[in-house]
């Protein structure tokens, strides 16, 4: 799946960059250091926006294209932050045949964002996941730790409203 480019403004702090610099210094001169640095950076910032990737490229003397190549290759690296409420729709086989695709369509239209993106106010992010093991409740979605099952598209607005107060 193609990576969704970052859609929200960067608001990293000086402390975060200090932590990143310390991490890079730890891996200095080490072969194959890019992966652990990217993992650490995602831990610090929550995601890997261009500002962070550029900082890594310059500090490590690695072309930005290579940093981005790695970040866009692995699905665990994300280019958009998670919202206060991370909505994840299960698109595993069971959920999918039970109409999870329609839930996704509904969420995209209500939130005004695409799969992999975040709303401008950073309140909601939307992702598709593989099977989360709740097939008996299919189709399911999660909002942070909360699980919602046996859903139909007309139930989506109510779920979002609950968090939108």
Q: Does 146 bind another protein (CB under 8 A)?
A: no
Q: Which of 8, 20, 41, 53 binds another protein (CB under 8 A)?
A: 53
Indicate whether 67 belongs to the interface with another protein (CB under 8 A): yes
66 binds another protein (CB under 8 A): yes
Residue 35 in contact with another protein, rule: CB under 8 A: no
Structure tokens at 10: 């960067």
- DSSP states along the chain: -PPPPP-S-----HHHHHHHHHHHHHTTT-TT-HHHHHHHHHHHHSS--HHHHHHHHHHHT--HHHHHHHHHHSTTS-SS---SEEEEEE-SHHHHHTTHHHHHHHHHHHHT--TT-B-TTSSEEEEEES--S-GGG-S-EEETTEEE-S--GGGHHHHHHHH--
CB of 133 to another protein, least distance (A): 25
9 interacts with another protein by CB under 8 A = no
Residues 69-108 that bind another protein (CB under 8 A): 69, 72-73
The single residue among 1, 9, 25, 31 that binds another protein, judged by CB under 8 A, is 1
Select 7 or 110, whichever has its Cβ closest to another protein: 7
Residues contributing to the site for another protein (CB under 8 A):
1-3, 5-6, 50, 53, 58, 63-69, 72-73
């Amino acid at each position: 799946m193609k990576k969704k480019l970052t859609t929200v403004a960067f608001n990293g702090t000086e402390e975060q960059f200090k932590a990143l610099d310390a991490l890079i210094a730890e891996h200095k001169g080490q072969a194959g250091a890019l992966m652990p640095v990217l993992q650490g950076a995602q831990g610090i910032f929550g995601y890997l926006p261009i500002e962070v990737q550029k900082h890594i490229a310059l500090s490590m003397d690695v072309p930005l294209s290579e940093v981005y190549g790695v970040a866009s290759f692995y699905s665990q690296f994300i280019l958009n932050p998670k919202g206060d409420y991370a909505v994840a729709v299960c698109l595993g086989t069971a959920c999918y045949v039970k109409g999870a695709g329609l839930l996704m369509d509904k969420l995209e239209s209500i939130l005004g964002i695409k799969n992999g993106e975040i709303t401008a106010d950073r309140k909601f992010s939307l992702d598709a996941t593989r099977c989360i093991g709740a097939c008996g409740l299919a189709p399911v979605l999660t909002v942070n730790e909360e699980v919602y099952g046996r859903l139909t598209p007309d139930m989506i607005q109510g779920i979002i409203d609950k968090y939108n107060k």
